[in-house]
Amino acid sequence: MHRIARGSAVLTVLVAVGLGTPAAALAVAERSPKPERGPEPQVAVIGTGGTIAGVSKSRVSFQSYESGQLPVSRLVEDLRPEVNRLADVTTRQFGNKDSNAYSLPEYRRLTTAVDDALRTNDAVVVTTGTDTMEEFAYWLDLTVRSDKPVVLTGALRPWTVIGSDGPANLYNAIRLAAGGRTTCFGTVVMLNDQIQAAREVRKADALRLNAFTSGSSGELGVVDQNQIRQAFDAGAAGSPGPRAPLPA
């Protein structure tokens, strides 16, 4: 009996039952059907504008730019090869302006847009400006009734400057949403690799990339490349439970 490779149980068995040579065993293995992957998570990205969709005067105009200029479809397309490995990602343009330019009726329409998207998707990412991101997040935390993940993200630097935090924040927000790790957590904010609860997060700096903090409550977790590290997982003791349904 020929042992093809250390730990290669399949090829060892194939040779043992009479296929004769390692080459023959490899040929059979190559013809064997690959295991089917499960369905990809469906993530909707809803764009509302803000710095993340901003266009700078030059590639080094970190603070001189016009926010809300790029459509969210452009942002996702710039990341398309990478996000395609995470989920089936679709986009919807809700608006494209500064976050502090939205009115309360528009907040309500945003809730409707998120609720509608969650009926056919596994999670939603909302891109928005950071000036009122904590208010946006808290509003959605109070009004969206689904248990599915809702992740807000944005940027402190416009999309078009070197070293922009926008692409990394959007990619990590989609990764977090697609992973389903914040199911039943309500709305969360994901910037600078940090996962923050909507009820606790505050903007503490207008310029630095680590602008958001949850104070003494602490962050919910972090996204470290391929790992999502949380203080506790959904369903663990002490984690938030499902939301009560709206009254009929």
pLDDT in tens, the chain (248 residues): 444 444 444 434 333 434 444 454 444 444 545 445 567 999 999 999 999 999 999 999 988 889 999 999 999 999 999 999 999 999 999 999 998 899 999 999 999 999 999 999 999 999 999 999 999 999 999 999 999 999 999 999 999 999 999 999 999 999 999 999 999 999 999 998 889 888 887 777 777 777 777 777 777 888 877 778 777 654 433 334 444 333 33
What stretch of H or E contains 229?
Answer: strand 227-230
For position 2, what pLDDT does the model report?
A: 43
β-partners of residue 44 are 90, 124
Active site residues: 51
> What domains are there in the chain, each with its CATH number?
6-34 (no CATH), 42-230 (3.40.50.1170)
How far apart, in Å, are the Cα atoms of 7 and each of 10, 12, 20, 21, 220?
9, 9, 19, 17, 39
How far is it, in rounded angstroms, from Cα 3 to Cα 163?
Answer: 50
Q: Name the residue among 102, 101, 97, 93 with its Cα closest to residue 54.
A: 97
pLDDT at 232: 62
The secondary structure of 28-89, three-state, reads: HHHHCCCCCCCCCCEEEEEECCCHHHCEECCCCCCCCEECCCCCHHHHHHHCHHHHCCCCEE
Structure tokens at 227: 């790992």
Which pLDDT score, from 0 to 100, does residue 241 have? 40
**pLDDT the model gives residue 209:** 77
Q: Give CA–CA dist 209/168, Å, rounded.
A: 12
Model pLDDT, residue 246 = 36
